[in-house]
Amino acid sequence: MTKAELVAEVATKTGVEKVAVQQTIEAMMKVIKTSLQNNQNVYLRGFGSFIVKKRAKKTGRIITKNTTIIIPEHYIPAFKPAKTFTEKVKNSVKK
């Protein structure tokens, strides 16, 4: 599902205009991004958590040049789904 499809779906289910829904979703994403940039996790009960993960320093390889490089420790954004959300997806997705 794309962002446009998400906006359309939410607008249909709530009866709110697409423009307002799009502004709301954009604002939500901006708040989440800003919070993670400020090292603040975002917790949505029953859905999941947007968190900042620390990656340790490690050695990597550039195969084409046959050299090794040091990748410094860094932080990445991550999403950790809630247990209830994970269980619902596990039990409902059809292959």
Residue found under tokens 């919070």: 35
The full DSSP string for 34-78 is HHHHTT--EEETTTEEEEEEEEPPEEEEETTTTEEEEE--EEEEE
CATH of domain 3-92: 4.10.520.10
**11-51: pLDDT as tens digits:** 999 999 999 999 999 999 999 999 999 999 999 999 999 99
In the chain, domain spans:
3-92
Q: Write down the pLDDT at residue 92.
A: 86
Would you state the structure tokens that stand for residue 6, as one six-digit string? 């998400």
Residue found under tokens 């247990």: 83
Q: How confident is the model at residue 93 (pLDDT cuts 50, 70, 90)?
A: confident
Distance CA 52, CA 5 (A): 27
Q: pTM for the whole thing?
A: 0.79
Q: How confident is the model at residue 70 (pLDDT cuts 50, 70, 90)?
A: very high
Residue found under tokens 């859905």: 47
Q: How confident is the model at residue 95 (pLDDT cuts 50, 70, 90)?
A: low
Q: What is the dihedral of CA 43, 48, 53, 59, to 10 degrees?
A: 180
Average pLDDT over residues 44-60: 95
